[in-house]
Amino acid sequence: MKLIAGLGNPGPRYADSRHNVGFRVVDELARRWAVDVSRYDRHFEGLVGEAHRSGQPVLLLKPATYMNLSGQSVAAVWRYYRLGTADLLVVMDDLDLPLGHLRLRAGGSAGGHKGMEDVIRHLGTQDVPRLRIGISKVDRSATVEYVLSTFTAEERPVIEAAIGRAADAAECWLARGIEAAMNEFNRRASGDADLQAASQGD
């Protein structure tokens, strides 16, 4: 069993916010796999969908606990299925990455992300694979308002493309593991950044 948990806030009020790109990646995977991820499971405190991919069962999870309590839901699934940390991929937004850039890591600190902090606290380890999606940096004093805001018309094509690439990265993780996904998608992101910098310098 593998678990892909997208972090976000439940309800239509937050559906298109920057903080909900994790949910949107899970929705994209559900669309690709023709899986219903709208069923609420009260034991897991989240919306779940089940699939069979890369020769193994996969559970998609959207915690309904609100972002700062994401760990309650993730840990409930993780413990119920007796998963190892390598069986879990957390998908989340990241203020410290440029808009639309991806970064996979096998573990590490939460980097100030409250949802990831709660996941780490509930699992009792920082060795949690995660896929971060850049939503662009803002002054820390305006963080709350910014992450709950929607993307501008100019930003939407960039984030839509990033959500598709993030779903590709999650599928790579399922099929080949975190190291392979890091090698492919982190390198691609660096290359994209170099190309973007070069074009701006022309």
Q: What CATH number has the domain bearing residue 186?
A: 3.40.50.1470
Let me know if residue 135 belongs to a domain: yes
Whether 174 is in a domain gets the answer yes
Q: Mind listing the pLDDT tens digit for each residue in 78-119?
A: 999 999 999 999 999 999 999 999 999 999 999 999 999 999
The total number of structural domains in the chain stands at 1
13 domain residue, yes or no: yes
Residue 144 falls inside a structural domain = no
Do 42 and 52 meet the contact criterion of CB atoms below 8 Å apart?
Answer: no
Whether 58 contacts 174, CB under 8 Å: yes
Q: 145 lies in a domain?
A: no
Q: Where in the sequence is the domain holding 49, given as residue range(s)? A: 2-139+150-201
Report yes or no on 177 lying in a domain: yes
Query: What would the two tokens of residue 97 be?
Result: 């990455």
User: CA dihedral in degrees (57, 109, 13, 74; nearest 10)?
Assistant: 30
Closest CA to 73 of 55, 60, 57, 85: 60
pLDDT of the residue at 187 = 78
- Residues linked to residue 89 through DSSP beta bridges, in sequence order: 4
- CA pair distance 28, 162, nearest whole angstrom: 11
Does 194 or 113 have the greater pLDDT score? Answer: 113
pTM score of the predicted model: 0.91
Residue 61 resides in a domain: yes
Q: What is the pLDDT of residue 188?
A: 65
Q: List, by residue number, the catalytic residues.
A: 19
Cα separations in angstroms, 186 against 13, 35, 135, 141, 182: 32, 28, 16, 29, 5
Residue 42 lies in a domain: yes
- 111-125: string of b/e by CB count within 10 Å (b at 16+)? eebbbbbbbbebbee
